[in-house]
Amino acid sequence: MVVFAMGCPSGLRGLSLALLASTASAAVIPRDPIPDGFVAPPYYPSPYGGWADDWAESYSKATKLVSQMTVAEKVNITAGTGLFMVGRCVGNTGSVPRLGFPQLCLQDGPLGIRSTDNNTAFPAGITTGATFNKELIYQRGVALGEEFRGKGANFYLGPSVGALGRKPRGGRNWEGFGSDPVLQAIAGAETIKGVQEQGVIATLKHLIGNEQELYRMYNPFQRAYSANIDDRTMHEVYLWPFAEGVRAGAGSIMSAYNDVNGSAASQNSYLLNGLLKDELGFQGFVMTDWLSQISGVAAALAGLDMSMPGDTIGNAIPLTGHSHWMYELTRSVLNGSVPVDRLNDMATRIVATWYQFGQDKDFPPPNFSTNTADREGPLYPGALFSPSGVVNEYVNVQGDHKVVAKQVAQEAITLLKNDGGFLPLSTSTPLFVFGTDAQADPRGINSCVDKSCNRGLLGMGWGSGSANYPYLDDPISSLRRKAANVTYYATNSFPSVQTPGGGDTAIVFISSDGGENTYTVEGNHGDRDASGLVAWYNGDELVQKAAAKYSNVVVVVHTVGPIVVEPWIDLPSVKAVLVAHLPGQEAGDSLTELLFGEASPSGHLPYTIPVSEKDFPDSVGLVATPLSQTQDTYSEGIYIDYRYLNKHGIKPRFAFGHGLSYASFTFSNATIKRVPNAPLSEEPPARPPKLASPIAGLDVSLPDATEAYYPESGLDRIWRYLYPWLDKGDADKAYTIGVEGREKYPYPEGYSPEQRTEVPVAGGTNGGNPALWDAAYEVTVTVTNTNTGKAPAGKAVAQAYVQFPAGIAWDTPPVQLRDFAKTGKALGGGESAQLRLSLTRRDVSVWDVVRQNWIVPNPRGRYAIWVGDASDNLRVACYTDTLTCEEGLEPPV
Ligand code: NOJ
């Protein structure tokens, strides 16, 4: 059991009255001082949900249902029934059969349904981000939603926008969309819309600061690291994609494992009550990451709504039948330590979310088991003895999703270099292919659990964000299908080869893997702590040796994030380099069609490839202080990735947003207009008032102890299963304490049970003050493919970056991505298309830490909106003061 030092700012102080007794002998783990300036001030009580118009009907239905529930029934839906206990998914809640509220199935992960069959293994988030194609990102979301629904999973545990990609070595960056808040925000929101339109609840994760895997979790001897994030950085970078996700209607949010400013994310009142539920006006509910709950009452007060998978980690091993909630939450409500209205709010938020996505009507029950591939298996795998039954029905949910999966894989492929138009190749070119990454894992495409190895093609990273391949279209099979003359060397050490002929071309496949801390792969503990940003298995040497032998070399990189390419990028024989990211099951044709010119590359880097890892600040390196709490302090503030390099005048090897095409695009006829046509005010219009919540109408009197008694009949208790009930004696005792109010729970500093009347000035429902999303400027630009030759048609991407006016009181990055657009079709030689880019009020604002509001620093000043196809190739600028545009400029960075 973990107990914390007193004095923690946001309510880590106590555990429930009942738990205190059981923890008396436990070790006390000291908390290291958090650096000055990083605070998680107490924020209480937890704001009620149900004050947004677009959730009103769901809340009205939910309050009706919850008002009929006993205390034990309400509690039962706020937690999982225990790891591997009844239920086939990675998380399974309790249910209320008496009122028709089912057990809910929560299932990983962001790129497809984890650990099952007959599913699609979509390209990963990082690949999806690299498409810079909003419509396609949405379509992937639709397909994901259809698959989760088809398998009977109520929840899609994704998308992931945190890790945001602050640390190039971070293990889980690949689950998200790229190292920029706007790219994450747009891609996250499109995914949420696509998934939720299928009636599946998206779970935006991980709130917040889970930027590295090492020391991410609490254990009995050590606290998880503390992500120390200042207020402006929080708003302008890390919270930004969550705000957009809440605006897109995300039904649930998963908290992170780590601390934020010294207070555990799962019970951080500043984060959950303050930022998420009050400022962003989040109407859904918050669940923990798995086994991250570390206290009972404190977590409830701080705004946590659901504990997953229900067990405690404090005992080091789950499956001991212990929970901070379930029976303990029931006890805490009866004895008066958790106010009844908080439990009402938790339960109502969960039920309202279920209604909001229509899951009360015809939502199928799970037909798969994440625990086994066998048709029959234990119904309670975590129990000592369990009855068996059918757990896998092998329902095929793939539909035609391979089409969208392949399109994402293909549109993500990023051409870094193409000397002299070396690509595309002719299918008659003699090809000599090197590297095990070109072939499927010879031991089986799903031979490593959760992809915890990098054998054969790297199609996804490892951990809970992985999925089984139904099949794998590997590059070598595809090459053999398409090209006349292919010789493959399935090795990562350069073999002895015959002297190449003039036209011979080598294609070298290299990779770099990363994943979740649950597994260590080749010395990498999730993060790329052992490999760094270097291709695995001596990939650099393989390229160098191939380049020494062959005069034409194409390098294909499958990677979770940036790798340093200096050892070979300038070698004269290295003619072309393609980053294929993590393509999922459609790795083959998606790539070879580009190699042979059936389509043109159109992906763009979702992160910077630096010349050296040292070009980034030390603060974004991995941090570890094994004997005390690791402090991960965001001293670089808002300057991550390209923002940092630009600020310090450091040239990257390949800039964020870089990506070549076989086509040649020019941008012209740029226009800018104000929408509406009036200058912005410095401060946004006042937020709308906060409406009353129906939660306030629910009964808050102390429930009768009988509501908490174990049922007298009909329950065959399973050892280690987590139940919401108490034995009669325990329930009566807790109730007596509650009635007499004789033992006072040590409420956290700043705690008050009364709902606040003062509301955050920047707040509002669904993402904050709605005025922040008012369109402010619209830029249009014509993109033309000026190719006259026979080069294949290509899709073009326009990226819009804002440069704030000179002389303002805030330091701002030279340029910041604000929007992007991709042509709907590939443009042939001479063809044009118009692309539209929009900037909102928030896009031209900074977060003012004193006013606690989004401020347009100089509304009549000159904001330049730069447009181009990479962060370092911006040659068109439109100005907000004159509403004119200029073309053919020197890029600002
Ligand atoms: C831990 C991971 O951090 C989270 O992303 C995942 O959804 C849960 N485990 C459940 O597997």
Q: Supply the pLDDT for residue 3.
A: 25
- Cα(464) to ligand 1 centroid in Å equals 6
Q: Which two tokens stand for residue 126?
A: 């990082």
pTM: 0.96
Q: Which atom of ligand 1 is nearest to the CA of 518?
A: 1
- Cα(291) to ligand 1 centroid in Å equals 9
Q: Which atom of ligand 1 is nearest to the CA of 160?
A: 5
- Cα(289) to ligand 1 centroid in Å equals 6
Q: Supply the pLDDT for residue 318.
A: 66
10-19, 218-227, 367-376, 544-553: least confident range: 10-19
Residue nearest to atom 5 of ligand 1 (CA): 464
Mutate to test the pocket of ligand 1, among 84, 88, 108 (most ligand atoms within 8 A of CB): 108
CA angle 28–34–37, rounded 5-degree value = 155
Which residue's entry shows tokens 């390196």?
Answer: 621
Q: Supply the pLDDT for residue 486.
A: 98
- Cα(828) to ligand 1 centroid in Å equals 44
CA distances in angstroms from 313 to 63, 68, 310, 330, listed in the order given: 32, 32, 10, 20
What is the amino acid identity at position 222?
Q
DSSP 787-835: --SSPPPB--EEEEEEEPPTT-SS---S-EEEEEEE-SSPBPTT-EEEE
The pLDDT tens digits for 402-441 are 999 999 999 999 999 999 999 999 999 999 999 999 999 9
365: number of Cβ within 10 Å: 10
Closest residue by Cα to residue 587 from 509, 505, 684, 665: 509
Residue 84, pLDDT > 90, answer no
- Cα(285) to ligand 1 centroid in Å equals 17
* CA-based torsion, 639, 640, 642, 645: positive or negative: positive
> Could you tell me if 87 and 98 are in contact, meaning their C-beta atoms sit under 8 angstroms apart?
no
pLDDT category at 719 given cuts 50, 70, 90 is: confident
Q: Which atom of ligand 1 is nearest to the CA of 157?
A: 7
**Residue 52: CB partners within 8 Å, gap ≥ 6?**
281, 283, 691, 765, 766
Residue nearest to atom 6 of ligand 1 (CA): 464
Query: Which residues does the annotation mark as catalytic?
Result: 289
CA distances in angstroms from 103 to 304, 319, 326, 388, 726, listed in the order given: 19, 19, 14, 19, 20
What whole-number distance in Å separates Cα of residue 709 and Cα of residue 732? 9
Fold assignment, 406-658 = Rossmann fold (3.40.50)
The pLDDT tens digits for 856-877 are 999 999 999 999 999 999 999 9
Whole-number CA gyration radius for the chain: 27
Residue nearest to atom 8 of ligand 1 (CA): 290
Q: Which atom of ligand 1 is nearest to the CA of 216?
A: 3
Q: Which atom of ligand 1 is nearest to the CA of 114?
A: 11
The pLDDT tens digits for 825-835 are 999 999 999 99
Q: Supply the pLDDT for residue 791.
A: 85
Residue nearest to atom 11 of ligand 1 (CA): 464
Q: Supply the pLDDT for residue 562.
A: 98
Q: Supply the pLDDT for residue 461.
A: 98
Q: Supply the pLDDT for residue 743.
A: 72
Give the number of C-alpha atoms closer than 13 A to the C-alpha of residue 32, restricted to the C-beta side. Answer: 22
Cis ω before 809 (30° cut-off from 0): no
Residue 575, pLDDT > 50, answer yes
- Cα(76) to ligand 1 centroid in Å equals 21
Q: Which atom of ligand 1 is nearest to the CA of 203?
A: 7
Q: Average pLDDT in the 781-802 region? A: 95
Q: Supply the pLDDT for residue 873.
A: 98
Q: Which atom of ligand 1 is nearest to the CA of 465?
A: 5
Q: Where are the chain's structural domains?
A: 406-658, 666-675+773-886
Instruction: Choose between 700 and 20: higher pLDDT.
Output: 700
Residue 90, pLDDT > 60, answer yes
What whole-number distance in Å separates Cα of residue 666 and Cα of residue 657? 16
Mutate to test the pocket of ligand 1, among 148, 155, 157 (most ligand atoms within 8 A of CB): 157
Residue 27, pLDDT > 50, answer no
Residue nearest to atom 1 of ligand 1 (CA): 290
According to DSSP, the β-strands at 105-107 and 155-156 are parallel
The pLDDT tens digits for 174-199 are 999 999 999 999 999 999 999 999 99
Residue nearest to atom 9 of ligand 1 (CA): 290
Q: Which two tokens stand for residue 141?
A: 């979301």
- Cα(408) to ligand 1 centroid in Å equals 24
pLDDT category at 10 given cuts 50, 70, 90 is: very low
- Cα(207) to ligand 1 centroid in Å equals 12
Q: Which residues partner with 174 through β-bridges? A: none
Q: Average pLDDT in the 332-360 region? A: 98
510-519, 708-717, 736-745, 821-830: least confident range: 736-745
Residue nearest to atom 4 of ligand 1 (CA): 289
> Could you tell me if 542 and 510 are in contact, meaning their C-beta atoms sit under 8 angstroms apart?
yes
Instruction: Report the pocket of ligand 1 as residue ranges, CB < 6 Å.
Output: 90, 108, 157, 205, 289-290, 464
Residue nearest to atom 10 of ligand 1 (CA): 290
Q: Supply the pLDDT for residue 149.
A: 98
In b/e form, how buried is each residue of 453-481, taking b as 16+ CB within 10 angstroms?
Answer: bbbbbbbbbbbbbbbbbbebbbbbbbbbe
What whole-number distance in Å separates Cα of residue 314 and Cα of residue 448? 29
What whole-number distance in Å separates Cα of residue 596 and Cα of residue 661? 13
Q: Supply the pLDDT for residue 159.
A: 99
* CA-based torsion, 442, 443, 449, 453: positive or negative: negative
DSSP 8-class letter at 425: P
Q: Supply the pLDDT for residue 12.
A: 25
Q: Supply the pLDDT for residue 304.
A: 98
Q: Longest Cα pair distance anywhere in the chain, in angstroms?
A: 92
649-658, 672-681, 763-772: least confident range: 672-681
Q: Supply the pLDDT for residue 221.
A: 85
What whole-number distance in Å separates Cα of residue 54 and Cα of residue 764? 13
Average of per-residue pLDDT values in the chain: 94
Mutate to test the pocket of ligand 1, among 106, 161, 289, 449 (most ligand atoms within 8 A of CB): 289
The pLDDT tens digits for 199-216 are 999 999 999 999 999 999
Residue 11, pLDDT > 60, answer no
H-only helix segments in 382-467:
401-412
Residue 745, pLDDT > 90, answer no
**Phi and psi, residue 343, nearest 5°:** -65, -40
What whole-number distance in Å separates Cα of residue 153 and Cα of residue 90? 10
Percent of the chain with pLDDT over 90: 89
CATH number of 666-675+773-886: 2.60.40.10
What whole-number distance in Å separates Cα of residue 456 and Cα of residue 443? 9
Q: Average pLDDT in the 288-310 region? A: 97
- Cα(256) to ligand 1 centroid in Å equals 9
